Structure 1
């Protein structure tokens, strides 16, 4: 009778997992399977420790491996983000020093005497392509902003 209950439990579990897999979007299936394998590993290690086939300290060590891996990945990602932030901060400072009118006109792809509206339109068009939130570079966005600011400041000074 116990074997029949265990068999029915496995059949129900297989049916549930199949339906869950089918209803999961294809992009998330790899993550779902990884989670299932992790839980299967946990169940096997616990069962082995409970039946005496694995010492409980060995079981704890085996169960700690995924958590240590996740911690190591989190730590490395944090360090890489800090390094990237330092590099982007250094890049943002560099374009301020050598921006002049010809370079600003070239960056915004404008003629010699652009109007205020032309400057703003060119800046808006280029920022839509190069904004950091859209996958563009912080450096390019800073250059575009500096070019626009310089040209508009010159227009205001002339008036």
Structure 2
């Protein structure tokens, strides 16, 4: 019984930590309901009936988290000379700028264009993309592209 309570607390903590409780869908609610029914059944001495509900709910949430993580990664675009020049121009950097200079320029610019300070999300995203492109290029070797 104690391990079951710990598992439910862990599930609730995971849901809160990942933000799933803020954007819960009907399927999430049904899976959470099934987990609760399974927990109650297991607590009342019917673990054979409750365990499949708990395991099914856990697998449902695990599959959703993995699917979301895989979809959340944007495809890596190879750095072209034109893209690098545009990123350097956006951040106001010379071609010989190192990673430290890229990070400093990004910090300076993002402070003024961040949506919390009156800027736009699009411009902040563009500056972040420029920083990521330049840092990825520097990490892979400046002689490429």
Please indicate the TM-score interval, normalised by the length of the shorter structure: 0.3 to 0.5
* Structure 2 length-normalised TM: 0.41
Larger Rg: 1
Between structures 1 and 2, the one with greater helix share: 1
